Amino acid sequence: MHQPAWYSKNLRRIFFDMHLPDWTEPGQSGGRLDGLQNVATAFDPKAIVAEFVRARINVAVIFAKCQYGNFYYNTQIGHKHRGLGNLDLLGEIVEEAHRHNIRIVGYYSNMWDTQIARTHPEWMAQDANGQSSYDRWPSLCLNSPYRDLVHQHLHEMFSLYDLDGIWSDILSDLPCFCPRCQDLYRQATGEAMPRSPQKDGWIKMVRWQQEYLGDYIASCREVVKTLNPDAAFVINFFGTPYANPSQGLSFKHLPLSDFGSSEGYTEWHGLLFPSYAARYMRAGMLDRPFEILTGRFVHTWDFTVRPLAQMRFEAFSIVANGGAVCVDDEPYHDGRMEPLVFDHLENIFSAIEQREPYLHEAEPMPYAALYHSQKTREIDEVLNPPSPPKKLSLVPKSNVNASAADLLPSLMGSFKALIEAHLPVQMVDERPESLATLPRYRIVYLPNILTLSEVEADTLRQFVHNGGGLVATGATSLYDAMGQLRDNFLLADLFGVDAGPRGDYTFPYFEFAPGPLTTGLTGRPLPHYTAMWHVCPNTDAIKIAATRRNPLIETCGELYYHNNQPSPGPDTHEPAIVYREVGQGRVVYCAGLPESNYARLGHSPYRHLIANMIRWAAQAEPPVQVEGWLNTEIVPTRLADDLIVHLITGLPQRAVRFGFYHTADSIEEQARLSNIRLRIPTTTTRAWRVPHNEELPIERSGSAAWITLPSVGDWETVQLIDAVK
Ligand SMILES: [Zn+2]
């Protein structure tokens, strides 16, 4: 695929986010307003680009058509925002920005378009109840004639302007149950569309939608590429595990995106998310370039400005992990800009620019692969319907989730544990081209990955036989692709155990046995919220790292124990964690979900357990090791023979909790730590901090080497010369 250099080289980006109502159109206010109210009347393209230049921005997303359906250039076929008067905002910004070597990507809203929905109500999408709504953003059906109009819009944009790309948004508001889509579904399958995830055929419907969404995206891409093959066609990939699969986007759509893009707002998904999203998009894009969006706002689009310390933390988490940083900003209603945002961006982007020689071309050091599965995402939507707890006690219920699926806590709890344990992690998934990257890694972790195909299972077997490590938990491989329970784990041969039923006790305990997996763990029984799977050894060649202790009772009605959970009862001596050698490799199977427990409780033994399982199975230590410093993410990357190691530190403030709510994560002060001692590869010949090249002495003792960073700010970068020679 042709890939201009700026896709990967231009790391400093702004998303100039502005869905501006035009209240001269009665349809944009429900008929309640008819004046401009100064909206969009004071844009100054030269001043805008001057701020971009000051902030060292080298890519900007500028609106061509917003979610109201208003255009920001001199369109002949759509509705230009009247507040602009004669101003060709997009065109003038493109011209001015290009004079300063800033790339301009046009923004285009697909499914949401208030203006078109008012003029063509027959093109609107319908929800499962057959309703279309003008509340906030009305949604349009991608199988309607609207598709042809979109093509005309794209044709016009790329005929009129030398745009560097298009950022194609709102491709994630499926499913549509309009009569058109119902007919198409019946023609394709002979069945009626199921109306909820609990109805038969939901997964089939979700996969059918993915096909037509792919056709839609491909057809739009074709229009753009025909006019300008170098223009980047970019999908807003609202398809992380936080999105419902039925909203439409899946990894299978990413080949249509010239670089990956995903919203990584910490107010939506927490402070771990920018780093997670970066790795997720890298995996999704199969190592092609990507960007992650962060916000300037405390609460998305509320006109606040996030503290500089937090904006730095979010941006540095992304660039250290190989992504471009695209900061979401929004002008005031008339088009004036908030200068403090650009003060912050100048600070952040100057720091990034200084380290670009150590960021460009650097590749992550492979160690652990965290397994992701689109099919498991789809099954999770069916098995694990969202149901907020009816009342909160001080601690989670024992059966926090009665279903076998627990996608988000599984993935995010594993990720949190790996990051805090400083074990380098990237992601792989079930696509053949992604599975082909598996041999890079020492170990693959499958956190309750419910379904695996025969091909996936064979690939994993081969990986282990060739010396790889595999750690799997819970119901991994126990379901088929349509979400039906199998008789046994597809990987029972690797695990060394057969699947039995799920336990009756929703609050069992791990009882750890001495051995390599339990070194340094608590000797006390460790509680496990939710039932464990019962498993039975199918070979003598396994060792047991933990057995299951059931609680004295199962809490029920008038049978209870103190205020919370019953004490552990006698040991069942049934295996809860087993481990073994297979071929050249090693396998660990855990019948519980330590990662889900870690996501919910944050209790350190779960993290230590996960880290121990991974290190044992990997048969190797990561290239850089450090004890503690849980709030510091360590990212080792490889640049030729050197290791470039980033340390990103954010110290969040404490939260107030009330009911289901708590204060948003916030970071207000730039952290400064002292005397961080890193164990480094012994081949390292010299070490220094970059970009200022302050040399760090290397201590050597026997077969080990260390450096000590006397003082560490929120982003430290160390170059270890010859560390990977
Ligand atoms: Zn439809």
* Cα of 116 from ligand 1 centre, angstroms: 15
Domain range summary for the chain, segments of one domain joined by +: 6-360, 368-505+530-547+574-618, 632-721
pLDDT of 395: 61
- Is the confidence at residue 564, as pLDDT, over 90? no
Q: What is the dihedral of CA 529, 534, 540, 542, to 10 degrees?
A: -20
Residue 202 one-letter amino acid: W
* Cα of 142 from ligand 1 centre, angstroms: 6
CATH class in words for 632-721: mainly beta
Backbone angles phi, psi at 114, to 5 degrees: -60, -45
> From CA 457, how far away is CA 660, in angstroms rounded?
40
User: Rounded to the nearest 10 degrees, what angle do helices 339-359 and 45-54 cross at?
Assistant: 50
pLDDT, tens only, 56-68: 999 999 999 999 9
* Cα of 215 from ligand 1 centre, angstroms: 14
pLDDT, tens only, 433-455: 999 999 999 999 999 999 999 99
* Cα of 232 from ligand 1 centre, angstroms: 28
DSSP category for residue 321? T
* Cα of 123 from ligand 1 centre, angstroms: 8
> From CA 383, how far away is CA 381, in angstroms rounded?
6
Asked if residues 174 and 239 have their Cβ atoms less than 8 Å apart, the reply is no
Residues forming a β-bridge with 371: 428
pLDDT of 388: 64
Backbone angles phi, psi at 691, to 5 degrees: -90, 5
* Cα of 121 from ligand 1 centre, angstroms: 12
* Cα of 64 from ligand 1 centre, angstroms: 25
- Is the confidence at residue 135, as pLDDT, over 90? no
- Is the confidence at residue 285, as pLDDT, over 60? yes
pLDDT, tens only, 163-210: 999 999 999 999 999 999 999 999 999 999 999 999 999 999 999 999
Please state the length of the chain: 725
* Cα of 152 from ligand 1 centre, angstroms: 20
* Cα of 609 from ligand 1 centre, angstroms: 48
Strands across the sheet containing 543-551: 425-429, 368-372, 443-446, 469-473, 585-590, 568-582, 543-551, 509-512, 526-527
> From CA 550, how far away is CA 505, in angstroms rounded?
7
Which spans in 321-390 are helix H? 339-359, 374-383
* Cα of 221 from ligand 1 centre, angstroms: 21
Q: Report whether CATH 3.40.1500.10 matches the domain 368-505+530-547+574-618.
A: no
* Cα of 210 from ligand 1 centre, angstroms: 13
* Cα of 533 from ligand 1 centre, angstroms: 42
Instruction: Quote the mean pLDDT of the chain.
Output: 96
* Cα of 139 from ligand 1 centre, angstroms: 10
CATH number, span 6-360: 3.20.20.80
DSSP track, 483-494: SPBPSS-TTHHH
* Cα of 29 from ligand 1 centre, angstroms: 25
pLDDT of 1: 65
The closest of 40, 7, 39, 36 to 23, measured between CA atoms, is: 36
* Cα of 194 from ligand 1 centre, angstroms: 14
> From CA 331, how far away is CA 114, in angstroms rounded?
21
Burial class, 109, CB count within 10 angstroms (exposed 0-12 / middle 13-18 / buried 19+): buried
pLDDT, tens only, 631-685: 999 999 999 999 999 999 999 999 998 877 889 999 999 989 999 999 999 999 9
pTM for the whole thing?
0.97
DSSP track, 186-254: HHHHSSPPPSSTTSTTHHHHHHHHHHHHHHHHHHHHHHHHHH-TTSEEEE----STTS-GGGS--GGGG
